[in-house]
């Protein structure tokens, strides 16, 4: 009887973990599969990246309108894919701890869209001699949106970088923003503007969610919602614990409670 109970409990624990991570795994997995598939088709001369890359010419973009999204799911080379997916894994895992489910897809796709808009507009603002003519390809804008949202949600969360030590998310994000700003005059400004578009998308999503949260907790009927407020206080405590010590520091009961509330 004890063994059966323990087995059921472990299955429940595994189910909670899988449910929280499945959206992130699907996002990373689909991007990797599309990269491999594209490389095979290109080698067979059956496919070209120009059909899914975001062009800088407005007339070409209007004919290939789907590229405003597809560019974010393909990469030119393995190195770009590797670093984008590595960042997405780290920051997406943190985001999944706080926002289980499909939230990461909303933020990521918004980052891809805003990145495309910033990319297209940047070439209307910059002088011709300053612009490197070329299409946009890669997941960087979507990754930047996830990084921004996760950082704003828990700025003091620390991750360990091998050989360098622990760094807070807010410091990592500041580094990436400054790096992008400093790189704009050196070449490929459209790509770096796309990154800033992703950052903007992450900030907007965070602002929307925080506004909705404040609105839901300032209703004039709060005095008759004491059980609900107590539950929200418990969730806030759990999220604060994750922010300080990471997801693995939670007890099994806290993980189950977080999963239960995320599905409501």
| Surface-to-core class of residue 75, CB atoms within 10 Å of its CB (0-12 exposed, 13-18 middle, 19+ buried) | buried
Cα angle 98, 89, 166; round to 5: 80
50 has a pLDDT exceeding 70: yes
4 confidence band (pLDDT: 50, 70, 90)? very low
261 has a pLDDT exceeding 90: no
Three-state secondary structure string covering the chain: CHHHHHHHHHHHHHHHHHHHHHHHHHHHHHHHHHHHHHHHHHHCCCCCHHHCCECCCHHHHHHCCCHHHHHHHCCCCHHHHHHHHHHHHHHHHHHHHHCCCCHHHHHHHHHHHHHHHHHHHHHHHCCHHHCCCCCECCCHHHHHHHHHHHHHHCCCCEEEECCCEEEEHHHHHHHHHHHHHHHHHHCCHHHHHHHHHHHHHHHHHHHHHHHHHHHHCCCCCHHHCHHHHHHHHHHHHHHHHHHHHCHHHCCHHHHHHHHHHHCC
More confident: 41 or 126:
41
68 confidence band (pLDDT: 50, 70, 90)? very high
- The mean pLDDT value for 49-70 works out to 89
The whole-angstrom separation of Cα 117 and Cα 54 is: 10
> Comparing 17-21, 60-64, 216-220, 223-227, which segment has the lowest mean pLDDT?
223-227
Taking the alpha carbons of 129, 130, 134, 135 in that order, is the dihedral positive or negative? negative
> What pLDDT shows up at residue 225?
46
> What pLDDT shows up at residue 213?
78
Cα angle 12, 8, 250; round to 5: 40
More confident: 19 or 162:
162
pLDDT digits (tens, 9 = 90+) for 213-237: 777 765 554 444 445 455 556 777 7
- Which residues fall within 8 angstroms of residue 61, CB to CB, at 6 or more apart? 54, 55, 67, 68, 120
Q: What is the CATH number of domain 13-212?
A: 1.20.1540.10
Q: In angstroms, what CA-CA distances link 176 with 45, 62, 102, 205, 215? A: 37, 31, 25, 19, 32
17 has a pLDDT exceeding 70: no
pLDDT digits (tens, 9 = 90+) for 91-103: 998 888 777 667 8
More confident: 85 or 129:
85
9 has a pLDDT exceeding 50: no
84 confidence band (pLDDT: 50, 70, 90)? very high
> Comparing 10-19, 123-132, 170-179, which segment has the lowest mean pLDDT?
10-19
Q: How many CB atoms lie within 10 A of CB 154?
A: 20
Q: Kindly report the pTM of this predicted structure.
A: 0.74
> What pLDDT shows up at residue 223?
45
pLDDT digits (tens, 9 = 90+) for 173-189: 999 888 888 877 766 67
14 confidence band (pLDDT: 50, 70, 90)? very low
Domain boundaries, the chain: 13-212, 222-264
Residue matched to tokens 């997406």 = 92
- Which residues fall within 8 angstroms of residue 238, CB to CB, at 6 or more apart? 250, 254, 257, 258
- The mean pLDDT value for 191-205 works out to 91
Residue % of the chain over a pLDDT of 70 = 75
Pairing of strands 158-161, 165-168: antiparallel
- The mean pLDDT value for 257-261 works out to 67
> What pLDDT shows up at residue 70?
94
The whole-angstrom separation of Cα 254 and Cα 252 is: 5
Average pLDDT, the chain: 79
């Amino acid at each position: 009887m004890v063994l059966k109970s323990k087995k059921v409990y472990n299955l429940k624990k595994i189910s909670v973990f899988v449910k929280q991570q499945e959206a992130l795994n699907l996002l990373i997995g689909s991007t990797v599969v599309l990269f491999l598939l594209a490389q095979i088709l290109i080698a067979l001369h059956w496919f070209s990246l120009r059909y899914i890359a975001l062009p800088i010419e407005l007339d070409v973009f209007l004919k290939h309108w789907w590229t405003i999204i597809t560019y974010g799911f393909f990469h030119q080379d393995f190195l770009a894919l590797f670093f984008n997916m590595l960042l997405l894994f780290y920051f997406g895992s943190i985001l999944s701890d706080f926002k289980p489910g499909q939230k990461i897809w909303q933020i990521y796709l918004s980052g891809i869209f805003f990145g495309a808009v910033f990319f297209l507009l940047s070439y209307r603002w910059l002088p011709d001699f300053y612009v490197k003519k070329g299409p946009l390809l890669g997941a960087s804008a979507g990754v930047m949106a996830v990084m921004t949202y996760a950082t704003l949600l828990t700025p003091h969360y620390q991750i360990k970088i091998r050989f360098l030590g622990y760094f807070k998310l807010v410091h990592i994000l500041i580094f990436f923003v400054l790096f992008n700003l400093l790189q704009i005059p050196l070449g490929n400004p459209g790509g770096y503007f796309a990154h800033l578009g992703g950052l903007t998308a992450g900030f907007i999503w965070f602002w929307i969610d925080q506004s909705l949260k404040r609105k839901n907790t300032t209703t004039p009927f709060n005095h008759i919602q004491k059980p609900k407020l107590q539950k929200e206080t418990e969730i806030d405590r759990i999220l604060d614990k994750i922010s300080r010590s990471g997801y693995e520091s939670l007890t099994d009961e806290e993980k189950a409670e977080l999963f239960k509330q995320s599905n409501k």
